Structure 1
Amino acid sequence: MRYTLRQLEVFVAVGRFESVSRATEALNLSQSATSTALAELEKQFDVRLFDRHGKRLQLNESGRALLPRAIELLDRAGEIESLLAGNAGLNGFRFGATLTIGNYLATLLVGEFMRRYPGCRVQLDVHNTEQVLRKVAHFELDFGLIEGDNPNPDLSAEPWVSDELVVFAAPDHPLMREKHVTLEMLARQPWIVREPGSGTRQAFENAFHSVRSQMDVRLELEHTEAIKRAVEAGMGVSCISRLALKEAFRRGSLVPIEVAELNLQRQFHIVWHKQKFHTPGMQAFIALCREVTAGAARSDEIVMRDASGRAIEYR
């Protein structure tokens, strides 16, 4: 063959990062070695794979067509290496999870996966929905577990498990003395919410669309734990996944506010690029995701168990 796996590895890294310097860091090569490998690949086949915009390289039509095929070939080469090393072909993978899933489910899933397949290396990136979708679309992640909707036609989104947001406050909040809380009453409260781009923020705005213009959003925070602490301190009310509030509700440090006219249901999804080759490791992890949610009607009803069969509590 007129190309090498190293050349394809360099091409894939530059294609993902659109930068020779970032590809250099990821591959642990010198910048000259990275540039040379890419230049030789293009020269050997008399083809341009990137449009040059100053220091930025952007995949052109030929490069976009090659990228998923090059990734698949490298993945299959990884399978061969794993088989030769006696690891049953389960080569590593990198996936993303949005913050609620990443903090309360994904690490438990990775723990169970590593128990079943101790030789497989897994890398987890935790971001909001917008960032995970962007990274999956650019092949920076093999797949993602997301809370929000997927608007990208290049990605497949498989419904995974239902989830429910819940409005909540500190136990001594004035609304807790009300027998019936309306949307209008909630709109007048100071609110602490997730940042734009998160699936939770998207679901929150959809649920409160009729009063959104009247709402007093005081604080935007990226992490659910920070939101919980702020609400516990009496800074306002909020609305996040019931999954993230399970332990706080059990302790009584936070309490739910039921509002009959609100629809706070949503769906978690598993997403991957339609052109992404599914390695055995990726297939096994996605199968595990389906397995652990098979008997759960909602995300906070998922039960994970350790090697002895005891239920694992997530907090």
Structure 2
Amino acid sequence: MLKKPQVGRKKSISPAEIENEDIIMREKGSGTREVFEETMAKNNMRYRIKYVLNNTEAIKKAVQANIGVSVISKLAVKKEIRGGRLVKVDIENIRFERKFSIIYHKDKFKSNLFEEFIKHLYNYSIR
């Protein structure tokens, strides 16, 4: 979960605490929202989506303005977290995971560079 930094904030919250947060989420049909909703349902967690925005930058700005909290790709907020404008807060015993697939034509020639790229994706995904 992503929040605006505040002094004395916890690094994690209990699943029950998420019920009291104003959630800022992507629109229906986005992969991020699907992962969020599936994970919350699987863990029988209640939540309230207060705002729906259609792009990552708008969500980051809303969280920075302390309008609410969000679940978003860590790669999308790496710079803001490093700069102290946003903080990552874990929900205890909850892990949001999104799976991606790489597809290519079955007859495509796989160059060494292509094979290295596939290895890189695999190594990155198991971190």
Pick the TM interval, shorter chain: 0.7 to 0.9
What is aligned with 1:187?
Answer: 19
Structure 1 residue matching 2:118: 3-state secondary structure = helix
Match of 1:216 in 2: 48
Deviation of 1:179 (Å): 6.8
Deviation, 1:242, is 1.2
| Stretches (4+) displaced over 6 A | none
Corresponding residue of 1:170: 4
Aligned equivalents of 2:12, 2:33: Cα separation in 1: 25
Deviation of 1:205 after TM superposition, in Å, equals 0.8
- Quick one: which amino acid aligns to residue 223 of structure 1? N
Could you say which structure has the higher helix fraction?
1
**Equivalent position to 2:121, from 276, 287, 293:** 293
Task: Indicate the SS of the match to 2:120.
Answer: helix
Q: What does the per-residue CA deviation read over 1:214-249, in whole Å, with 9 as the maximum and x for residues that have no partner?
A: 422111122112211111111100001111121111
CA distance in 1 between counterparts of 2:69 and 2:25 reads 9
Match of 1:262 in 2: 94
Please say which structure displays the higher CA radius of gyration: 1
2:11 and 2:90 in contact (8 A); partners too? no
The amino acid that maps onto 1:183 is: P
Give 2:121's aligned amino acid: T
- CA drift at 1:295: 3.7
SS at match of 2:51: strand
Deviation of 1:168 (Å):
0.9
How far is 1:191 from its partner? 0.6
In structure 2, what is the equivalent of residue 206 of structure 1?
Answer: 38
Unaligned runs of 5+ in 2: none
Unaligned runs of 5+ in 1: 1-166, 302-315
Residues 295, 178 of structure 1: CA spacing in aligned structure 2 closer, same or farther, 3 A cutoff?
Answer: closer
| Equivalent of 1:196 in 9, 14, 28 | 28
Is 1:226 the counterpart of 2:58 in the alignment?
Answer: yes
The Cα shift of 1:287 comes to 2.1
**For 2:75, which of 243, 247, 250 is the aligned residue?**
243
Which structure: greater strand fraction? 1
User: How many residue pairs align between the two structures?
Assistant: 123
C-alpha distance in structure 1 between counterparts of 2:51 and 2:83, whole Å: 25
Q: Distance in 2 between matches of 1:242 and 1:227?
A: 13
Q: 1:290 to 1:186 in 2, by over 3 A?
A: same
SS in 2 for 1:287: helix
Q: TM-score, normalised by structure 2?
A: 0.79
Taking only the aligned residue pairs, the percentage that are identical comes to 30
The alpha-carbon distance between structure 1 residues 219 and 291, as it changes in their structure 2 partners (threshold 3 A), is: same
* TM-score (structure 1 length as normaliser): 0.35
Residues 98-156 of structure 1: per-residue CA shift (max 9 Å, x gap): xxxxxxxxxxxxxxxxxxxxxxxxxxxxxxxxxxxxxxxxxxxxxxxxxxxxxxxxxxx
* 2:98 alignment partner, SS class: strand
Give the whole-Å Cα distance in 1 for the aligned partners of 2:11 and 2:81.
19
